[in-house]
Structures are given as structure tokens and as C-alpha cells.
Amino acid sequence: MIELKNIQTVYFIGIGGIGMSALARYFHAKGAHVSGYDRTETALTKQLELEGIAVHYQENTKLIPAETDVVVYTPAIPADNKELVFCAEKKYLIVKRSDVLQWITLHSFNICISGTHGKTTTSTMIAHILRHSGYGCNAFLGGISTNYQSNFWSSENNVVVVEADEYDRSFLKLLPNIAIVTAIDPDHLDIYGTAEAVEEAFIAFTKKIKKDGTLIYHSTIPCADKLNKTVVHYNYALSTPDADVHASQIQIQEGGYVFTVQAKYWQLTSVQLNMGGLHNVENALAAILVAKQLGIADHLIKESISTFKGVKRRFEFILKTAQHVFIDDYAHHPAELDALIHGVRSLYPNKKMVLVFQPHLYSRTKDFADAFAKSLQNADQVILLPIYPARELPIPGVDAALLTEKMNSANVLLLSKDELIHWVATNRPELLITAGAGDIDKMIEPLKEKLIE
């Protein structure tokens, strides 16, 4: 392992990824020379360039600095990538993003947020509480905080808030002082193979908690009894009185919620969360539990939650007028779609919900086709876009039409992106939801324009 203080030049292959860009910003803030490659220009890569980080979009080994100390790559990069092959031939130190996070967190107090869903919002909420309250932290987030327009920030306090990603078991390289497990559902089965293997990885993650540490977990996760209970531990749930912490007296207020946090020995009344989705009330419970563990004053916790503006693409209001409501979300798993639809219904029970969904990965669509169909049927009108393949090759017989075949509904359309824009312009839905983890976010502005024309 190289000493962090000795890293002067860092090169990123896949710099536009949400986790990679946070690390790029970290090294840039430390004064290192940072540059990198990504195959597609995005709003995030443009922002990195504005911050002084050089990014290029064609594989070009001549743009890799000769004096590079570390090359960081993402598992999404194919093994035959010209730049990756070149760096291996030149014997550069090549590491994964998870290795760098391990180096950074080796000598810090670590708050590590894991879960097959909910971790990005929970991580960002915790980091916001610590920043807004003056406690301070270094944050490595899996989404763009709407409050600060970034997925990274730093402070003098040697506390790290980090999203602990279960993909390829990378979270097992972290050593948490406080570990949060928001949810465990079957996912990434292309990596894990079985639901049991996913659970085993999370169980192993909780065993990485330092001996004087704390475990905070959702009370309904399937393997709760197998998590590491040798440390201080608390569970939480939305409205389950048996949980150590739950929410009560939940009221809808201006597209968000006001509620009481009820614990066995304390309560926090009139907590205001200006964010939709009852699942985000649950995420707030986990964040508040962390803040209480750190000794942050109640009034500062409440003030922080009330000023939290959310995360880009997490129940994000794109448009909210008397005529139209447009919400965008990253949901790409059946459980996430359930939470999204339920959250929207809680706010707008009488509006006709049009849900546009872009399936993400052929393997995930194949593995969860029945569950996707069941979740999607809870919307009034469903529009399916073609599957976003990401790193995968097509699987015969697996496409968006597979989901329509499994849905007992006439209100399902298969549309291209161009057809979708025309459909929205013609039908002008009063409640429009876009969901998916692919490139559906590029549709947001064109769709918004059609709604407000």
C-alpha cells in the first residue's frame, strides 16, 4: 500500500462514475494532479472539468501522465480497455475504487452505510446532519447532494461518512465504527449467484465493525438474527412499535412529512422532512440514530433534517405546479419501485400516476421479471423503455416486452425515447414519474419542457 501523503498524481479510468468522481474530488482537494477517462460526457464530468480536473472521452494512452503514482479503475471498465491494458504493461500501481476507500478510512472514525437500497439518501442525510450541525465530516457519497451540489466534501474532523457498496463485495474492505444496514434484498445476482450469498456478504460486513462500534439495521431484513450483535446494536422501522426506533404521528405536509421519532428511552417530536416517500422517513430514522450516537443536540438534528434538500435522482421533484407533478427516481429494483410508488401514492392519492421505467441490465430484468411486473402494476399507466445494458451483452428472450407479458394490465406501452417525448407532449400527464438507473436521466429536461409548453 502506498502512503496517501505520497500520492501526487492520480489517473482515473471511469472517472465519471459517481463513486470514482468523489475520489477524484478528494485527491484534487488534497492538491494532487488528477485526470481521467470516461466514455461519455455527462453533467458530472463537465462539472469535474470546471473544477480543474482534466477529463477525456476517447481511449488515449498518450494522455496518461508518465509520472502517475496510482491508477484507479472501476469494475464497469472492460478488461480489454486500451488504457487499462497500457497501465498494466507499464507496471503502474492499479487499484479499485474500494482499495482507495480502504486507504482513506484506515485511520479515521468511519460511518459506513450499506444496503441494497436506501444507502445513498441515508448517507447524504447523515453527512448533511454532520456538516450542518458543525460536527464535520469527510463525505464520500453515491449521489449528488442537492444542498451542496456535490458527492464529496471534507472537514478538519477525522470522521468519514462513506457509502458501503455491496457490488463485488467491496464493502468488506471497510472497518466501520458505526455500520448501517438499510435493506438486504436479492440483487447483483450476476455477481453473487444466490440471495443467500448476498445475505452472507452483509453478515460478513457487520463482522467488520470495530469492537467498540455500533450496528444500526432495519428490523425487517431477512437475516437480522445473524448480524453481528456482539457490538452495541439498534434496529429501526417505519411504524413498528417493537423496533428500537420507529416513527409515529406521521403527517403529510407540503410534499413532505412531519413525524415523531419514538425510541425506548427518548423521543424527538415535530421532525420535519421536506422530501417525499415514506421510505425516506425510514432513512431519516437511521440518520437520526447515528446523530444521537455521536451526541449531536436534538435541536441541531431537527434543524438539519428540516434543511435537507435530498439527493439528485432520489424522489427528486423536477416539476411541481397546480397542473403537473414530475418526480424522477433512481429506482431499478422491484423493492425500490414498490417504495417509490407507495411514496408517491401517499402524497398524491387522487392523481393518475404515469410511470416511465427503463429496466437496467438484462440479468436483473431476467432475475426479477415477475417481481418487476408485480411492482409496476401498482401504477395507473406504465411506459417501458428498452433495457439499458450497461456492462452486459443481450440475453436471448430478455427485453422490456418480457415485463409486459407478465403484467395483467392493458395500461402498458413499449416506447422508444423519441416516442415517449411525443406521448408526453400529446397526453400531458398530471403525475409523471421516471425511474431507472441507466441513462433515463437524459430524458428529464426534454420531458419537463413538453409538460410546461
CATH number at residue 350: 3.90.190.20
Do 64 and 186 belong to one domain?
no
Residue 2 CB neighbour total at 10 angstroms: 12
Three-state SS at 442: helix
Residues 6 or more apart whose CB falls under 8 angstroms from that of 346 comprise 252, 276, 277, 278
pLDDT for 408 equals 76
Average pLDDT for 95-117: 96
Tell whether 150 and 59 lie within a shared domain. no
Give the pLDDT confidence score for residue 309 in this predicted structure. Answer: 97
CA distances to 102, 114, 133, 364 from 176, in Å: 11, 11, 22, 29
Residue 16 domain boundaries: 7-96
Question: What value does the mean pLDDT take over residues 184-205?
Answer: 88
Joined together, the cell numbers standing for residue 213 give 462500534
Q: What is the pLDDT of residue 410?
A: 75
Residue 266 within any structural domain of the chain = yes
Beta bridge partners of 382: 355, 412
pLDDT at residue 453 greater than cutoff 90:
no
Cell numbers given for 319: 416539476
pLDDT at 390: 86
Placement of cell 476517447 in the chain: 58
Residue 394 lies in a domain: yes
Asked whether residue 141 falls in the same domain as residue 281, the answer is yes
How many domains would you assign to the chain? 3
When pLDDT is averaged across residues 240-251 and rounded to a whole number, the result is 96
| Last residue of one domain, picked from the residues 307, 334, 365 | 307
For the chain, the residue count is 453
Tell me, yes or no, whether 290 lies in a domain: yes
| End position of a domain, from candidates 275, 307, 339 | 307
Write down the pLDDT at residue 51.
97
In the predicted model, what is the mean pLDDT of the chain? Answer: 95
R_g over Cα of the chain: 22
pLDDT (0 to 100) of residue 176? 98
* CA max distance for the chain: 62
> Stretch 42-58: mean pLDDT, rounded?
97
My answer on whether 283 and 327 are in the same domain is: no
Q: Is the pLDDT of residue 188 over 80?
A: no
Encode pLDDT of 6-32 as tens digits: 999 999 999 999 999 999 999 999 999
Residue 314, pLDDT score: 94
Say if residue 361 is in the same domain as residue 216: no
For residue range 338-378, list pLDDT tens digits in order: 999 999 999 999 999 999 999 999 999 999 999 999 999 99
- Please give the Cα distance from 101 to 449 (Å, whole number): 40
114 within domain boundaries: yes
**Contact status, residue 183 vs residue 117, Cβ threshold 8 Å:** yes
Q: Which three cell numbers stand for residue 316?
A: 427528486
Question: 39, 180, 182: which is closest to 111 by C-alpha?
Answer: 180
Q: What mean pLDDT is predicted for residues 218-222?
A: 95
Q: Domain for residue 229, yes or no?
A: yes
151 and 59 in a single domain? The answer is no
Q: Are residues 393 and 446 in the same domain?
A: yes
- pLDDT in the model for residue 94: 97
Percent of the chain with pLDDT over 90: 92
Which residue, of 286, 307, 328, is where some domain finishes?
307
- 118/79 same-domain check: no
Percent pLDDT > 70 in the chain is 100
| Helical packing angle, 417-427 and 444-452, nearest 10° | 20
C-alpha cell read off for 183:
435493506
Give mean pLDDT, residues 98-102: 95
Confidence of residue 191 (pLDDT cuts 50, 70, 90): confident
- 206 and 247: one domain? yes
Mean pLDDT across the stretch 132-152? 97
**Which parts of 65-118 fold into alpha helices (H)?**
82-89, 97-104
> What is the mean pLDDT of the segment spanning 268-293?
97
| Contact call for residues 273 and 267 (beta carbons, < 8 A) | no
Task: List strands edge to edge, sheet with 150-153.
Answer: 150-153, 138-145, 159-163, 109-114, 178-181, 214-218, 232-237, 245-253, 256-263, 267-273
In this prediction, residue 391 carries a pLDDT of: 78
What's the rounded mean pLDDT across residues 66-92?
95
Q: Mutual orientation of helices 119-132 and 298-307 as an angle, nearest 10°?
A: 120
Q: Where do the DSSP E strands lie in 314-452?
A: 316-320, 325-329, 353-357, 381-384, 412-414, 431-435
Beta carbons of 157 and 315 less than 8 angstroms apart:
no
Q: Are 120 and 263 in a shared domain?
A: yes
CB 106 within 8 A of CB 194: no
**Which phi and psi (to 5°) does residue 388 adopt?**
-85, 115
Query: What's the pLDDT at 383?
Result: 98
Predicted confidence band of residue 237 (pLDDT cuts 50, 70, 90): very high
In-domain check, residue 1? no
For 206, residues 6+ apart whose C-beta sits below 8 A from its C-beta are 179, 181, 215, 217, 227, 228
Burial class from Cβ neighbours inside 10 Å (0-12, 13-18, 19+) for residue 324 reads middle
User: Are 284 and 184 in a shared domain?
Assistant: yes
- Report the amino acid identity of residue 134: G
- Give residue-wise pLDDT tens across range 281-299: 999 999 999 999 999 999 9
* pLDDT band of 1, cuts 50, 70, 90: confident
Same domain, 82 and 146: no
The CATH number of whichever domain residue 153 belongs to comes to: 3.40.1190.10
> 175 pLDDT band (50/70/90 cuts)?
very high
Domain assignment present for residue 2? The answer is no
Given pLDDT bands bounded at 50, 70 and 90, which one contains residue 255? confident
Give the dihedral sign, CA 160/163/168/171: positive
